[in-house]
Structure 1
Amino acid sequence: MRYKQIVIVLILLLNLSCITVFSQKKTPSKKEVTLISNEAIKLMKAGNFEKSLIKSRLVLSYAIALKDDNLIASAYNTIAANFDQLSEYDKAFFYYNKGLAHANKTDNDELKNWLNNNLGNIYCFDKKQYEKGIYYYKKSLQYSTKIHDSSQIVFTKLNITWAYFDIGRYEEGLPYLKYINKYHKKYGDESTIVALNMLNGMYYNYKNDPKKALFFFQNAIKLGNEGNEKSDLSYSYHEFSKFLLKNGDFKNAYKNLALYNDLTVELNNEDKLNKANVAGINLEIDEYKREIDKIGNEYKTKEYLLIQEQSRNKKIVIGIISGLLLFFFLFYIFSENSKLKQKNKLKDIQSQVHQNIINASINGQELERKKIASFLHDNISALLSSAGLHLSTFTSKNQIISQEIIKTKAILEEAHDQVRDLSHELMPTLLARFGLFYALEDLCEKNSNSAIQFNYAIVVPTKTRYNEDFEIKMYFIIMELLNNIIKHSKATQAKLTIQENNKSLQIEIEDNGKGFDTDKFYILEGFGINQIKARINNLKGTIAIHSKIDSGTSVVIEVPITYQKKITTSVFPSQ
């Protein structure tokens, strides 16, 4: 008893000391926050993205406390730049927009210039929405002109030229190209010299001046091999191969296309090295196991000591007069009750750790889906496309038309389509880009046919977005339930209804199928209900299944919504 009392007193004292420390903690000054922000930028430029993100998020929390829009915008910019470097373009796009919203409240034209430029990069090179990209590039150009930053003016006009040329609007991009050619030597950067030569080559190829085009393309490739601008060198190989193909030099076109493919694969592999490895989840599970073993051993030791203490007390009580027998009995009951509580606590901890292991396994499956989908889309699909292009180049060069080649091309196209479909099935594009509700509407539409009709009803704005992991988990839970209807229910009508209530997502799935006896549901196989329940438990939600034979089935799910986290970092964006 005395031991337990001492432990309780120590815990109370520790809590009081923690409260005192936190109550004395003050928000750093603007100067101190700026220093932390600069550290985050240095870490990002050194390639230490994880530490940079941690410091940037710390900067954001301080900046929000200081209500300093300039620091907030800078922090969002750094977070976005880290995700940009990690090729997480959707996240980068989100935080660049957050940063721009705060930057527009300040007079920091330099930061506005960077944010607009980076949004232009994402629209042009990731989203392929060139009109929007050019709009942001021109906004960036306005700010760089306003602050008289000559080097940034040259850089932004180069981006605008590239965007126009990439969509074949050469005459619109020509004025910007002329400006760069005139001032690049004075204000330009060595990192853009490869791109400049490539753009000149593209323009003269468009003007059907092969001599000048050849000169600039060869110069771009030479400079690219001498420097470290792999991305620009990759584009140069690609555009040069197009030029050679246009001029009938199929052999060299093929060589440059192969160099472009090799360099693209190398760049993709470098991107993947920066991303989290799924093996980390296995390490986390092992850590959970070690932790529960440690806790279990500690409780066994305490339990053993408690039993020893009880044994000594019993020996002492046996020698005491009969008047103390009642006291002994009461003490024994209390000791047994304490022992039972210790065992129950241990069981609760083991149960919690088991649940954590299941949760980690489920999260690992989702992460593996994303990784496999990305690999299929970025590598296998690209290889199949490349193979098709090689075959087209070969047939064009050798003027060979045969049934075998035609069938081979058809097989490659079919393989490419199947890989793309599998990638989208593992991680739907609509889900990643537009959110849960667009993806579910598309899922209902795809599953509807002459045999069964899926109706979709929602009272939440379709554009609503939640936390990315939350949306992925909810999508695959609902997809599994819809698959059960298709495979087992023999229904002709089904309805998916979604609404929000008190920060919870309420989902009801009904069908007019054959139904089943819920009292015997545990003996049915193939429904995957245990995994669905585990996923919902992982989200701290509830599921209720109502069904009767020949009266259809209704499944009601309620899950607390996990909203998008407001994370931030401050750094001048990637270019």
Structure 2
Amino acid sequence: MSKKKVLFTLISIIYLVSFLAFAKTELKMKTDATAMNKEAITLLKSGNYEKSLILSRRALSLAIFYKDNKLIASCYNTIAANFDQLSEYDKAFYYYHKGLAYANKTDDDVMKNWLNNNLGNIYCFDKKEYEKGIYYYKKALDYSAKINDPAQMVFTKINLTWAYFDISQFEKGLPYLKYLNKHHDKYGSPSTEVVLNMLNGMYNNFINDTKKSQFYFEKAISLGIQGNEKSDLSYSHLEFSKFLVKNGNFKDAYTNLSRYNTITEELNNEEKKSKANVAGINLQIDEYKREIDKIGNEFKTKEELLLQEQSTNKKIVITLTAVLILLFFVFYYYVQNAKLKHNNRLQDIQSKIQENLINATINGQELERKKIASFLHDNISALLSSAGMHLFAHISQNKNSSQEILNTKSILEQAHDQIRDLSHELMPSLLARFGLFEALSELCKKNSNSILQFEFYTPIDHMIRYEEEFEMKIYFIITELLNNTIKHSEAKNAKLSLKEYEGSLKIDTIDDGKGFDSNKFHILEGFGLNQIKARLNNLKGSIEINSEINKGTAIKIIVPIVYPKNATPAFPSQ
């Protein structure tokens, strides 16, 4: 055997050993990611949504890194379910869609069934877009039939029947109701008996079978009182009141409508308390912060050990391969090393505009944002909700409501949605609840689309929190940078990275857009840099902009970190 054959045989053995080592390392990290997601699901079921979100996002990062579509879909579903429970339906809707996109790339029909069902729920019960909701329910029904799960088929058909009956399409919902009446005893669950009886009451009311309708409504209410499904009980009272109004029993109708309003108010109060608990996480942080830190550190240590092991294996392979090849191809490596030189130089420029901006002006802007957002959410939005509820009660009591009343109801709903969106835009709730890094991760995901993809990277632990106003200023600086990229760069890819370095926060944004000549100062005007530099002056930070035409733009910001009072960094500088 020639020396060359011996060399290539040795190289093949080395790469085989390396491949097995890398496969073992990858399997360990995938196992950790799966364990994180399972723990997040357990925390979700127990109502510990904050911890569940933290773990599911960490699991998602690993799943995306290893391109495991099943695990990615499962993580997105867990994140969406958390937001669903927190009544953050827009975020839940976004993540359910993301999860379905990845689930559709797999053969996991169980996950596809759940995601389609969840999307149907949001379309029907939150967005009131019944046609879309029914479409997703039918998709879920197809997958439940495909996996031959009768319990899921019963569950989905209850949703379909309710959706059709809610828009008075009783003929379309009737086949599903017949199926439920036939199979629910065998495959249904006690938690859906209230809904089934309510649906039977609604249908018999539609066909004017008064006796049966009253029987089913009363049975639904009786089961609802015995159980814990307040929401189903409230809807049963509402539909029963409609039946009683139709039959002229206005006294009992008013009683049932009052019960519906009382239970609905209780549910709303519980939802407000849940949101208050989430918003006031600092009140509970002493109880579980150590536990979260412990879990995060354990997984972080495992990741670091596995990455270190992987890096060591790579170094061994590279070293051995280089030594063996250098014995025979020294000249070849000299040539390759000569070809590695490149001639890419970016001209550095710093432009200073509007120096000595008044710090109080910037602080006032941020304070007004918080005050306005809080006022809109806590006062105006609550008043609109209350007005809508009273108006709905009036419409329910008066069968022939005027068009002006209906128009008023629609206007109130639009105003409520716009107030909520404006409040979130002025002061993102994720920033206050989970901190800068979770908010930036969410910001990059929301701004990514088929034209421009934002990538977010930071080695800093997402649980680390800085001083509140510092986080807010950094968030709005980066928001302005991303807006500039979207509006002006014409890029396809952009990357945002944050690192801690010697007590400062280093922020880098890079895009592959059209760029500009950074030597020409006037080009920089109008890009929102006035607000950015004003905030940086306030924070004693600096900004450096490097760009070339057709080569993209790179922006580097360095800002001294401001930690909360009487606090020290949780981890050493990165």
TM-score, length basis structure 2:
0.54
Corresponding residue SS for 2:487 = strand
CA distance in 2, matches of 1:104, 1:419: 38
Find the aligned partners of 1:246 and 1:535 in 2 and give their Cα distance. Answer: 64
State whether structure 2 residue 22 is matched by structure 1 residue 35.
Answer: no
Report the equivalent of 1:363: 370
* Deviation at residue 378 of structure 1 after TM alignment: 2.4
Aligned to 1:383: 390
Question: How far did residue 123 of structure 1 move?
Answer: 0.9
- Structure 1 residues 233 and 279: CA distance shift in structure 2, 3 A: closer
Distance 1:154 1:417 in 2: 34
1:385–1:536: structure 2 CA closer, same or farther, 3 Å change rule?
Answer: farther
Does 1:51 pair with 2:51?
A: yes
| Separation (CA, whole Å) in 2 of partners of 1:383 and 1:247 | 23
CA distance in 1, matches of 2:534, 2:222: 55
Separation in structure 1 between the aligned mates of residue 246 and residue 91 of structure 2, nearest angstrom: 39
- Larger RCO (CA under 8 A, 6+ residues apart): 1
Q: How does 1:258-337 map to 2 (within 5 A)?
A: 258-276=258-276
Q: Deviations over 1:432-473 (max 9, x none)?
A: 8xxxxxxxxxxxxxxxxxxxxxxxxxxxx9x99999x99x99
Structure-2 separation of matches of 1:181 and 1:429? 46
Question: Which position in structure 2 is the counterpart of 1:73?
Answer: 73
Percent identity between the aligned chains? 52
Aligned partner of 1:212 in structure 2 is 212
Partner of 1:254: 254
- For residues 303-348 of structure 1, the C-alpha deviation after alignment (integer angstroms, 9 at most, x for no partner) is xxxxxxxxxxxxxxxxxxxxxxxxxxxxxxxxxxxxxxxxxxxxxx
* Aligned equivalent of 1:4: none
Which residue in the other structure is 2:94 paired with?
A: 94
Distance 1:278 1:365 in 2: 20
> What one-letter code is carried by the residue in structure 1 that aligns with 2:251?
K
C-alpha change, 1:171 and 1:95, in structure 2 (3 Å) is same
Question: Contact conserved, 1:63 with 1:69, CA < 8 A, in 2?
Answer: yes
Equivalent residues in 2 for 1:467-546, closer than 5 Å: 500-502=487-489, 536=531
Look up the match of 1:157: 157
Query: What is the letter of the counterpart of residue 74 of structure 1?
Result: S
Does the 8 A contact of 2:374 with 2:423 survive in 1? no
Q: In 2, distance between residues paired with 1:418 and 1:255?
A: 28
Deviation, 1:383, is 2.4
**Offset from partner CA, 1:162-206 (integer Å, 9 cap, x none):** 111111111111111111111100010111000000000001000
Q: Which residue of 2 aligns with 1:132?
A: 132
Alignment RMSD: 4.5
CA 429–131 in structure 1, closer or farther in 2 if over 3 Å, else same: farther
User: Following the alignment from structure 1 to structure 2, what is the Cα–Cα distance between the partners of residues 77 and 118?
Assistant: 9
Q: Which amino acid aligns with 2:383?
A: L
Which amino acid counterpart does residue 381 of structure 2 have in structure 1?
A: S
CA shift at 1:367, angstroms? Answer: 4.0
Distance 1:370 1:261, change over 3 A: same
| Preserved contact between residue 150 and residue 187 of structure 2 (Cα < 8 Å) | yes
- Shift of residue 365, structure 1, vs aligned partner: 3.1
- Following superposition, the deviation at residue 212 of structure 1 comes to 0.4
> Which string of whole-angstrom CA distances, capped at 9 and with x for unpartnered residues, describes residues 245-297 of structure 1?
001100000000011111111111111222257985999xxxxxxxxxxxxxx
Supply the distance in 2 between the matched residues of 1:76 and 1:539 (Cα, whole angstroms). Answer: 38
- Output the CA distance in 1 between the equivalents of 2:370 and 2:423: 20
Describe the shift of the 1:192–1:68 C-alpha distance in structure 2 as closer, same or farther (beyond 3 A). same
- Whether the aligned pair in 2 keeps the contact of 1:358 and 1:534 (CA below 8 Å) is no
Counterpart for residue 241 of structure 2: 241
**Separation of aligned partners in 2, 1:428 and 1:201:** 38
Shift of residue 376, structure 1, vs aligned partner: 2.5
CA distance 1:246–1:410, change in 2 (3 Å): closer
Going from structure 1 to structure 2, the CA distance change for 1:278 and 1:123 (only over 3 Å counts) comes to closer
Alignment of 1:165-184 (within 5 A): 165-184=165-184
- The Cα of 1:360 is off from its aligned counterpart by 5.8
One-letter amino acid of the counterpart of residue 163, structure 2: A
TM-score by length of 1: 0.54
Specify the alignment match of 2:188 in structure 1. Answer: 188
Change (3 A) 1:279 1:196: closer
Taking the aligned partners of 1:425 and 1:73, their CA distance within structure 2 comes to: 31
1:536-570 CA distance string (max 9 Å, x none): 4599699xxxxxxxxxxxxxxxxx9xxxxxxxxxx
Question: Which one has the largest radius of gyration?
Answer: 1
User: Aligned with 1:374: secondary structure?
Assistant: helix
Q: Is the 8 A contact 1:281 1:360 kept in 2?
A: no
- Contact persistence 2:52–2:82 (CA under 8 A): yes
Contact 1:28–1:62 under 8 Å retained in 2: no
Give 3-state SS (helix, strand or coil) of 1:168's partner.
coil
Instruction: Supply the distance in 2 between the matched residues of 1:220 and 1:535 (Cα, whole angstroms).
Output: 62
State the partner residue of 1:113. Answer: 113
Alpha carbons of structure 1 residues 357 and 254: separation in structure 2 relative to 1, 3 Å: same
Segments of 5+ residues of structure 1 without an aligned counterpart are 1-24, 284-350, 397-405, 433-460, 478-497, 505-532, 543-559, 561-575
Q: Offset of 1:130 from its aligned partner?
A: 1.0
Whether the aligned pair in 2 keeps the contact of 1:36 and 1:59 (CA below 8 Å) is yes
Contact 2:242–2:396 (CA under 8 A) maintained in structure 1: no
The answer (yes or no) to whether the contact 1:281–1:364 under 8 Å persists in 2 is no
Counterparts of 1:535 and 1:413, CA distance in 2: 47
Structure 1 residues 44 and 277: alpha-carbon distance in aligned structure 2, compared to 1, 3 A threshold: closer
**Distance (whole Å) between structure 2 residues aligned to residue 282 and residue 191 of structure 1:** 35
Alpha-carbon offset, residue 87 of structure 1: 1.3
**Residue 416 to residue 213, structure 1, CA distance change in 2 (3 Å):** closer
Cα distance 1:235–1:365, how it changes in 2: closer, same or farther (>3 A)?
same
User: Unmatched 5+ residue regions in structure 2?
Assistant: 1-24, 284-357, 426-448, 457-471, 492-527, 538-554, 556-574
Task: Rate the CA distance shift 1:540–1:99 in 2: closer, same or farther, 3 A.
Answer: farther
Task: Report which stretch shifted further, 94-103 or 381-390.
Answer: 381-390
Structure 1 letter corresponding to 2:111 = L
Q: Which amino acid aligns with 2:168?
A: G
The question of whether the paired residues in 1 share the 8 Å contact of 2:362 and 2:534 is answered with no
Q: Is the 8 A contact 2:113 2:140 kept in 1?
A: yes
Q: CA deviation at 1:355?
A: 6.3
Q: Deviations over 1:378-422 (max 9, x none)?
A: 2232124425655x48xx9xxxxxxxxx9xx99999997886686
SS in 2 for 1:47: coil
Aligned-partner SS, 1:500: helix
C-alpha contact (below 8 Å) 2:384/2:416 kept by paired residues = yes
